[in-house]
Amino acid sequence: MKNAVINFKKYRYLLKELINKDIKLKYRRSYLGLLWTLLEPLLTMIVLTFVFSGLFGRGDESYPIYILTGRLLYTFFSTATKASMKSIRSNAGMIKKVYVPKYIYPFASTLSNYVIFLLSLIVLIVVSLVLNVMPTLYIFNAIFPLILILILSLGVGMILSTLAVFFRDLEYLWSVFLMFIMYTSAIFYQVEKLKIAGKEWIFNINPLYNIIVNFRNAIFGRPMDKYALIYSTCFSFGSLIIGMFIFYKNQDKFILHI
């Protein structure tokens, strides 16, 4: 344990460099650069509002914010876990040549996406002010879902990055599974408005949905949902512990498969 801390300190700078690299290269060749982080969620929000407002958001002026909160969190979760999953393979060149603690790679992938995600929250702030959804004291509760989604993504990312080394086709399976998560995360509809008697459990077991619920509560000035908080906390830390465990158990075998 003590060795792990010393080792982490030594490679802290590498972690920073890798995060920097991901962010820099992502926007290097686009004309608008980092501005895309803001434009992209804004544009999808407009499209989704246009398409779904007649169906789900009738008469609700804050509907775009409802969509935006769900979409921002979901997009972070999906891009971060996908990037982590590929991180060991895409850094195979380094891993085969030099010793580096391997968890650095999925960590850097998740954290670089987290930085981009935090930047994109600016859009949420602006849209909220424009649509006159003013922050209340409950806004400080947003810190909980924001931390939980990072823990969850790190944990799931470690599980996926380990498995993806041994099974290449996991990428396709995970995309399908992500679609399932997206549709059960209530991004553009409200669970209460749907007639889905008997199927609520699907939402209750989806950790991402439970995180989004509390994020929305914080934005719209409502107290936190206790069940959602406890469930998503347990799930996120659980996934991180499991992720670390299977990663450490298997990391010495990675090099034989990449």
Binding residues vs other proteins (CB under 8 A): 10-11, 13-14, 16-18, 21, 24-25, 28, 93-100, 166-170, 173, 252, 255-257
Question: With respect to other proteins, which residue has the nearer C-beta, 14 or 38?
Answer: 14
Residue closer to other proteins, measured from CB, 28 or 58: 28
Per DSSP, the chain holds a count of helices (H) and strands (E) of 10, 0
Q: Which is nearer to other proteins, 168 or 199 (CB)?
A: 168
Cβ proximity to other proteins: between 192 and 252 the closer is 252
- Residue 88's nearest CA partner among 152, 172, 171 is 171
- Nearer to other proteins by Cβ, of 21 and 193: the residue is 21
Query: Least distance to other proteins from the beta carbon of 237, Å?
Result: 27
Q: What is the closest distance, in whole angstroms, from the C-beta atom of residue 204 to other proteins in the complex?
A: 29
Residue 238 burial (CB < 10 Å; 0-12/13-18/19+)? middle
How far apart are CB 14 and other proteins at their closest, in Å? 4
Which tokens hold the place of 195? 């007639």
Closest by alpha carbon to 124, among 219, 214, 213? 219
Residue type at position 160: L
Token digits of residue 244: 């670390």
- Nearest by Cα to 10 from 70, 102, 100: 100
Closer CB to other proteins, 31 or 201, in the complex: 31
| Rounded least distance, CB 34 to other proteins, Å | 17
Amino acid type, 129: L
Indicate the residue type of 200. Answer: E
Are the beta carbons of 66 and 57 closer than 8 angstroms?
Answer: yes
Q: How far is the CB of 57 from other proteins (least distance, A)?
A: 40
- In the complex, what is the shortest distance from the CB of residue 86 to other proteins, in angstroms, rounded to a whole number? 14
Cβ closer to other proteins: 163 or 244? 163
Work out the burial of residue 228: count CB atoms within 10 Å of its CB; fewer than 13 is exposed, 13-18 middle, 19 or more buried. Answer: buried
C-alpha to C-alpha distances, 136 to 142, 209, 214, 222, nearest whole angstrom: 11, 22, 14, 9
Quick count: other Cβ atoms within 10 Å of Cβ 172?
9
